[in-house]
Structure 1
Amino acid sequence: MERHASILVIEDDRAQRDALQEILEHEGYEVETAPDGDTGLKRAAELPFDLVLTDLALPGVDGLEILKYLVRHKPQTLCIIVTGYATVKSSVDAMRQGAYDYLPKPVDPQELRLVVRRALEHRALQEENRQLKQQLKKRFGFANIIGGSEPITKVFDLIRKVADTDATVLILGESGTGKELIARAIHYNSHRSQGPLVPVNCAAIPEELLESELFGHERGAFTHAVRTRIGRFEQASGGTIFLDEIAEMSPNLQVKLLRVLQDRSFERIGGTKSIKVDIRVIAATNQNLEELVSQGRFREDLYYRLKVIPIRVPPLRERPGDIPLLANHFLEEFSKKKKKPAKRLAPEVMEALARYTWPGNVRELENLMERLVILAEGEVVTLEDLPQRLRGGQSLDFGGQSIDFGGEGINLTRAVQEYERQLILAALERSKWVKSRAAQLLQLNRTTLIEKMKKQKIAPP
């Protein structure tokens, strides 16, 4: 029970007013009273009450007017209506207009305590949710997407323009570039920020389960469907659904998604009733959808429905000027999280970070900074603290034919092992650590990939 909550009692019958005040004060609440609607409305306007307990029939301003004022101007203050038996219908109507509950006269003390306690618990939960949403908005605001380079600045400008619209957004970029962070920034800076953000990783859910996950199912729709299940689209109503790895969606589901984008309606599996939803759709992929369309693997009409506002997120190698900002940000963040002394990067370390091509993009840099906070000794991170692939004089960017042997040359065995490790990690990052898909990217058998992971001591993050 919430103690020391402030309650305003508005009741024109003095005996009733005194009785209500006595019961509530005995429970530990701070109680103020008003003998009529005009006085009660004035006090409600002037002071921040947690709860207003008002009679419906009052001289002057009645309880319904007080309720309307609270709903419009003090939405965090809950209202309970007290009414005589003859006006129970009116109190039910008042609940439809925003009252938390109603109590019939004569008020039963035990019922009063119970209803007030429930109302204040409900208010506490609402306040907690409000604060959490504010924290989420702050956490996923534009200021938390780090960078000042021209490529990322263009992305910021585009996000600001589209955030407070309902336009469908398609986020394009390599794995690890921060596509989900951008989706969250769009949602939490839109008029839907008070609604849910429901993320769905289309690659992480088996194809045979994804349809039920997205659209839900009716009881008895298939074996083991023992109850009706609400899908992600219904859960996202009033907010945003984020469809990550959209290219992995099967042709059958692409058809159903196309209908949702067209008229915001669908049927649950096994159902016949059309369900309307109020959602914004944000999709993301690390694949070339135009190429998939030309290959017949992705519907052209769906592609253009999704590509209302395309946002391309540049890979980290295209924004090297942001590497110092990101590295220092992650160092500071992980030092606080791990309760470790603050560290700084030596100039030659920063140069090595700038030379590296970052196949895992920002996520790879973030993981490296976490590792350095935990393992590096001393206040300054040196080249010796870096993994072999990042040390100066041993660039592994074979694709660009840029190989610097340095003064002492390269240990071929170690370099080949490290390059193999890079390729495996890049494939795992791109496939969201789905080993079968990573093996396909590397043109290996799944068992061969697993053996190589064991040999290289590669474990999921």
Structure 2
Amino acid sequence: MKQEKPHILIADDELSMRQLLELMLTREGYHISYAASGRDAINMIEKHEFDLVLCDIRLGDMIGLEVLRAAKRKNPATVVIMISAYATAETAVQAMNDGAYDFLPKPFDNKELKKTIAKALEIKTVEHEKRIITDALKENLHFGRIIGKSPKMKHVYDMIQQVSQTRTNVLISGESGTGKELIARSIHENSDRCDNMFVAVNCGGIPETLMESEFFGHKKGSFTGASHDKKGLFETAHKGTLFLDEIGEVSPAIQVKLLRAVQDKVIRPVGSNEDIPVDIRIISATNRKLADEVIAGRFREDLFYRLNVIEIKVPPLRDRMEDLSDLAQHFLEKYSKEKGKAIAKISSYAIELLARYDFPGNIRELENLIERSVALTSTNIILPDSLAISVHKRLEVEDKKKDPFPEFIDDISEGVSLENILDRIEEIYIKKALEISNGRKERAAKLLNLNMRSLRYRMSKLGIE
């Protein structure tokens, strides 16, 4: 028995937009109906069953929220996706609170829209999607703390498994914010030292004058302020793992003392004449290229080879963007729970916006961004306007969207309405210019390199107020 095509209602008062969406979605195998006004859309919803409604926020005779509410009254299972070039954050929030599945701003990415529609028809509700996302997160959680399914991270997982079974020193290299300490902890917890201490120290956070005492301890009276004996980090980590983060920050004088501790497995506290044997595994981490530091004479070659028996290279977030959605959802759930908010997901367009940013601060920057976004949002979904991303970063990622109509070239083989396509592109640029100029037509005309007469004619032709 042939499966019935999903029935989609397009509610938009722009003829060119209805034609564009009908052409694109018909080719995807959907049965399409369309309405030119809010009243027509509501009448059709009352008479027919639709699997999905694609509705503009601003219709000619009413706001799209009325169509959304009508669709949900008729059948709560109907998926409604809102689209608009004009919606305010408040309108988007209201749409989500009224049951919209997602919100996409115009101009939208054709591939992203098709992906969102296909996913929405499969999942139907935000609550169902949240369960699916949570299950997927569990599948992609490794060693109880690391998230990712990308090939580069799978290689890291294999390395963790292999080195955990040895007592070899490990160097973890990667940019700041990539999660090097999580990898170090995973190695420790999967080793035969897991029942003993994991001691983490940021070498860059200890003043050089105190570093020797912090690493190796001191005896009472060995220097001003040494009022009692103190164990150092090496002795504290005995039988366990010592994690030396940012090892490249250690001064040459301390490197000499570190070399002896690593090589001979003995330490001598400041002010003592006796050596203390230590049984520790050392895992180091750096955001520098230590080999270059050796060549430059800033890091001892013999210490480098003692620490760098096995190297694990952690990829930056920009090289594992297939993990972005899972990471963002993980942080969303973490901070939603922490702040007592019931936020189900991040909208598809918000994820697309994040995916076009290269995150120089890596996962740490993503986590910080999601935490702030959770604090600022007032709906059950993170929308693009809820993303706590600075203006210059938002412009940067939005500028990366080179071609707003990447699929029309492929569509030519089956015939297109070139006039409608050109009208739509022209409309998008005029509306964007008016938005940037706060509605001042003289300024918009200058941005578009048009005279006022030409701009008025084009606005009248396209029905732009």
- TM-score, shorter chain, exceeding 0.5: yes
Q: Quote the residue 1:301 is aligned against.
A: 302
Residue 405 of structure 1, CA deviation:
11
Aligned counterpart, 2:207? 206
Q: Is the 1:292–1:298 Cα contact (8 Å) retained in structure 2?
A: yes
Name the residue aligned to 1:92.
none
Q: Distance in 2 between matches of 1:351 and 1:396?
A: 10
What TM-score, normalized by structure 1, do the two folds share? 0.55
User: 1:325: how far off?
Assistant: 0.8
Task: Please name the residue that 2:90 is paired with.
Answer: none
The alpha-carbon deviation at position 191 of structure 1 amounts to: 0.6
Please tell me the residue identity of whatever aligns with 2:219: E
**Kindly, what percent of the aligned residue pairs are identical?**
49
**Are 1:343 and 2:344 matched, yes or no?**
yes
Q: Give 1:288 deviation, angstroms.
A: 1.1
Q: TM-score, normalised by structure 2?
A: 0.55
* Counterpart residue identity of residue 151, structure 2: E
- Structure 2 residue 151 is matched with structure 1 residue 150: yes
CA contact (8 A) 1:175 1:286 kept: yes
**Partner Cα distance (2:398, 2:292) in 1:** 26
CA distance in 2 between partners of 1:359 and 1:236 (Å): 33
CA gap of 1:309–1:271, structure 2 versus 1, over 3 A, is same
| Mapped partners of 1:254, 1:175: distance in 2 | 22
2:420 aligned residue:
none
- Corresponding residue for residue 285 of structure 2: 284
Deviation, 1:403, is 8.3
The answer (yes or no) to whether the contact 1:357–1:397 under 8 Å persists in 2 is no
2:396 aligned counterpart, secondary structure: coil
- State the alpha-carbon separation in 1 of the partners of residues 316 and 162 from structure 2: 22
Alignment partner, residue 223 of structure 1: 224
> SS in structure 2 opposite 1:261?
helix
Aligned-pair CA distance for 1:404 = 5.7
The alignment partner of 2:272 has SS state of: coil
CA, structure 1 residues 248+345, in 2 after alignment: closer, same or farther (shift >3 Å)?
same
Match of 1:196 in 2: 197
Instruction: Structure 2: state its 5+ residue gaps.
Output: 1-140, 405-428, 437-465
Native 8 Å contact 2:219 2:270 kept in 1: yes
Alignment CA distance shift 1:309-1:390 (3 Å) = farther
Residue 226 of structure 1: how far off its partner (Å): 2.1
Mapped to 1, the partners of 2:142 and 2:223 lie a distance apart of: 42
Per-residue deviation, residues 396-419 of structure 1 (Å, max 9, x unmatched): 699xxx6869853798xxxxxxxx
> Residue in 2 aligned with 1:84?
none
Pairing 1:14-93 to 2, within 5 Å after superposition: none
Choose 246-255 or 363-372, whichever is displaced more: 363-372
Closer, same or farther in 2 for the Cα pair 1:396/1:257, shift >3 Å?
A: same
Contact 2:357 2:393 in 1 (8 A): no
In structure 1, give the amino acid aligned to 2:225.
Answer: H
Aligned to 2:237: 236
Secondary structure of the equivalent of 1:352?
helix
- Paired residue for 1:110? none
Q: Partner residue of 1:262? A: 263
Q: Is the 8 A contact 1:316 1:358 kept in 2?
A: yes
Which residue of 2 is the match for residue 459 of structure 1? none
Deviation readout 1:284-311 (Å, 9 max, x if unpaired): 0111111111111101111111111101
Query: 1:315 matched to which residue of 2?
Result: 316
1:141·1:188 contact (CA, 8 Å) conserved in 2? Answer: no
Separation in structure 2 between the aligned mates of residue 392 and residue 259 of structure 1, nearest angstrom? 47
Is the Cα–Cα contact under 8 Å of residues 175 and 360 in structure 1 kept in the other structure? yes
1:414 matched residue in structure 2: none
Matches of 1:403 and 1:170 in 2, distance apart?
Answer: 38
Q: Secondary structure at the match of 1:310?
A: strand
- 1:272: how far off? 1.1
SS of 1:203's partner is: helix
**Cα-to-partner distance string for 1:237-283 (whole Å, 9 max, x where unaligned):** 01011001100101111111111111210211111111100100010
Letter in 1 for 2:156: V
Give the secondary-structure state (helix, strand or coil) at the position aligned to 1:210. Answer: helix
User: Is the Cα contact below 8 Å between 2:252 and 2:299 reproduced in 1?
Assistant: yes
Q: Is the 8 A contact 2:370 2:387 kept in 1?
A: no
- Superposition deviation, residue 392 in structure 1: 9.3
Task: Give yes or no for contact 1:246–1:284 (8 Å, CA) kept in 2.
Answer: yes
Using a 3 Å threshold, how does the CA distance of structure 1 residues 387 and 349 change in structure 2: closer, same or farther?
same
Matched with 1:423 is none
Distance 1:300 1:148, change over 3 A: same
Q: SS where residue 238 of structure 1 aligns? A: coil
What is the CA–CA distance in structure 1 between the aligned matches of 2:206 and 2:402, rounded to whole Å?
43
Equivalence map 1:398-413=2 (5 Å): 407=429, 408=432
- Tell me, yes or no, if the aligned pair for 1:168 and 1:282 is still in contact at 8 Å: yes
Instruction: Tell me how far 1:229 sits from its aligned partner.
Output: 1.2
Taking a change above 3 Å as real, the CA distance of residues 391 and 326 of structure 1, as seen in their structure-2 partners, is farther
